[in-house]
Amino acid sequence: ELCSALAVLGADNAVLYRDTPGDVGVNIKTRDELRRGTLENIVTAAAKRLTEALRVLEELAKLESVAVAALLESLRYRSYTAEQSIMRQALQRNKMPRLGLHVLLTESLCRRPWRETLRAILEGGADGVQLREKELSDNELLNRAEVVAEACHNYGRLS
């Protein structure tokens, strides 16, 4: 979609108009420009550049084609949603390496009742519990997941 929009705007020739020696941004440096502390910083910086570029292209397209401008606007809003999704994944990924012990809970492998086993797992210091049940109905699985999530929450652990 973006390629089609850019073709309408004649972006294939845009490189011919680039004036790197005369670009005022070449010599402007910020304190953190060459450093990114976290994956979240990278996602945010990249997403901001993308949405800014799409907004500029959208405004330029208004001179050539209302349809292309609308498409670019749609792409810009979709990029906000994509940024949010990527950020959530990045934040979740950053939680996982901190887990020291993550236990998979499967009732058929428990020597004691599963609730008792869950309590022992949490009292034993596990950082997270993942419910792994392939034989339960959807309703039973949901009910059990709610019990596990509540127990983990009460102990300050991930589920």
Neighbours of 129 (CB within 10 A): 23
> Given the DSSP bridges, would you call strands 102-105 and 128-131 parallel, antiparallel or unpaired?
parallel
Give the number of domains in the chain: 2
Using the 3D structure, point to which of 96, 111, 141 is the last residue of a domain: 96
Query: What CA–CA distance (Å, rounded) separates 46 from 125?
Result: 38
Query: Are 86 and 120 contained in the same domain?
Result: no
Query: Are 103 and 84 contained in the same domain?
Result: no
Residue 123 belongs to domain spanning: 99-155
Query: Are 72 and 149 contained in the same domain?
Result: no
Write out pLDDT tens, residues 12-61: 777 776 788 888 777 777 776 677 777 778 888 889 999 999 999 999 89
3-class SS of residue 10: coil
Query: Are 76 and 41 contained in the same domain?
Result: yes
Name the pTM for this structure: 0.51
Using the 3D structure, point to which of 59, 80, 96 is the last residue of a domain: 96
> Within 13 Å of residue 66, how many CA atoms lie on the same side as its CB?
0
